[in-house]
């Protein structure tokens, strides 16, 4: 009966209305409608995202979906992610999932969500991210079908995803959420191209020319050689702009030999924050690479962490943490890695052992098993300088 009803739907708007009227639930329907991708669009997408369209793209983007751990168990709020180039983006999505599970769901602090709660949090997160990238006006969602629209050639290497895309344009956030709910399974397939579908949708929603402008260099592309992904993909997910600059506002940079060039950083307070610690290098870190207060003090006590190129998430379940300075005297933080571990810390800003901790951390062997947590301490100190950080426990995923 449902198949017969679908035949009567003439366009995308009818399908969305049908879904709304039928109180549409999550399912696994085949993709129908949309506009087939053109050869020019496919080649441009591959160029901006991967840097080339005549060679195979990085394979992890073709086989990484948004997959939760088993529902109603330890760490069931968490996404699974292998240590590859998709980890940064998945960590950003994880930040939004935590926002919805901790602060906007009917059951506050839902740390062991059911399957339905997992799906709801993921769908709402993808909806919110894309709507922000689309500047609250329009979103383009990319979904694959069976037919290929771009032949394999010397100028285009087929990847079995890009050349099969259909593009759907949505101009209402409620319709967008309904649409994503209908096809969420395509983003969750494991293995599957869910991560690439979101990245392509984000790029087309932002606009190809704006993405190029965000990156500030026509020779730079979104997927870099970084082991766990480019910071520009993370800022695209968090702020709606694929900027490499993390400072507040606009900074004009130049010298006596060059005109000052405006560097656009974070233009508004982010809902989910970002803390970054860089690799040691002989090249000094530029002021534009350091997160400003709009990333350090987000609307929710959730921060994506990037410690020497490795991504994770730290969070606190008290919404008042960043609203009341008394709450910041002594508080817990949880560090979650998509590889499947949850570490707990107590931060005390009343005592000032930060310098001692820094000295101890600097002297430690960076190759030992605690090195990642020591780097997270550095990140915590960039937000709460001089605070004491005590690690109190760990939970490792068994599923």
* 8 Å CB contact between 185 and 27: yes
- The predicted structure's pLDDT at residue 363: 35
> How many angstroms separate the CA atoms of 93 and 99, rounded?
10
The predicted pLDDT at position 267 comes to 94
Share of the chain above pLDDT 90, in %: 70
Per-residue pLDDT band at 399 (split at 50, 70, 90): low
Select the more confidently predicted residue: 262 or 367. Answer: 262
Average pLDDT, whole number, for the chain? 87
**Distant-in-sequence, close-in-space partners of 356: CB < 8 Å, separation ≥ 6:** none
CB 277 within 8 A of CB 289: no
pLDDT at 367 over 50: no
For 7-16, 76-85, 137-146, 239-248, which range has the lowest pLDDT when averaged over its residues? 7-16
Residue 394 reports pLDDT greater than 80: yes
Give the three-state DSSP class for 336: strand
Helix/strand/coil for 56:
coil
Indicate if the pLDDT at residue 236 is higher than 50. Answer: yes
DSSP letter (8 states) at residue 288: G
pLDDT of residue 30: 84
Structure confidence at residue 357 (pLDDT): 45
What are the C-alpha distances in Å from 138 to residues 198, 231, 390? 15, 24, 45
Counting other chains too, the contacts that 276-283 makes at CB distance below 8 Å and 24 or more residues apart are: 276/231, 276/246, 276/305, 276/306, 276/307, 276/379, 277/306, 277/307, 277/308, 277/375, 277/378, 277/379, 277/382, 278/308, 279/308, 279/309
Residue 276 confidence (pLDDT) above 50: yes
Structure tokens at 97: 């999932």
């Amino acid at each position: 009966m449902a198949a017969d009803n679908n035949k009567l739907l003439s366009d995308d708007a009818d399908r969305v209305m049908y879904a709304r009227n039928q109180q549409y639930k999550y399912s696994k329907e085949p993709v129908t409608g949309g506009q087939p991708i053109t050869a020019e669009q496919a080649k441009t997408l591959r160029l901006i995202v991967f840097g080339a369209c005549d060679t195979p793209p990085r394979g992890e983007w073709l086989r990484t979906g948004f997959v939760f751990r088993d529902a109603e168990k330890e760490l069931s709020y968490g996404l699974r992610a292998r240590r590859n180039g998709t980890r940064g983006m998945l960590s950003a999505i994880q930040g939004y999932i935590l926002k919805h599970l901790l602060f906007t769901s009917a059951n506050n602090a839902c740390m062991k969500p059911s399957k339905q709660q997992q799906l709801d949090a993921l769908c709402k997160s993808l909806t919110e991210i894309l709507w922000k990238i689309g500047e609250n006006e329009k979103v383009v969602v990319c979904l694959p079908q069976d037919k290929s629209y771009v032949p394999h050639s010397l100028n285009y290497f087929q990847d079995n995803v890009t050349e099969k895309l259909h593009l759907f344009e949505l101009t209402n956030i409620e319709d967008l959420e309904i649409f994503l709910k209908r096809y969420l399974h395509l983003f969750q397939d494991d293995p599957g191209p869910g991560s690439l579908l979101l990245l392509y949708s984000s790029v087309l929603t932002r606009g190809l020319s704006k993405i190029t402008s965000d990156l500030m260099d026509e020779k730079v592309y979104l997927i870099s050689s970084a082991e766990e992904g480019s910071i520009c993909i993370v800022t695209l997910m968090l702020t709606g702009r694929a900027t490499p600059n993390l400072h507040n506002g606009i900074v004009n940079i130049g010298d006596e030999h060059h005109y000052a060039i405006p560097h656009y950083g974070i233009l508004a307070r982010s809902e989910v924050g970002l803390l970054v610690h860089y690799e040691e290098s002989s090249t000094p870190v530029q002021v534009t690479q350091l997160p400003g207060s709009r990333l350090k003090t987000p609307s929710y006590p959730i921060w994506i962490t990037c410690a020497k190129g490795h991504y994770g998430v730290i969070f606190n379940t008290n919404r008042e943490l960043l609203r009341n300075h008394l709450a910041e005297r002594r508080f817990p933080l949880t560090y979650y890695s998509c590889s499947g571990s949850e570490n707990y810390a107590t931060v005390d800003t009343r005592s000032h052992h930060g310098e001692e901790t820094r000295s101890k951390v600097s002297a430690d062997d960076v190759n030992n098993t605690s090195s990642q947590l020591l780097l997270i301490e550095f990140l915590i100190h960039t937000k709460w300088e001089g605070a004491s950080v005590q690690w109190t426990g760990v939970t490792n995923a068994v599923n």
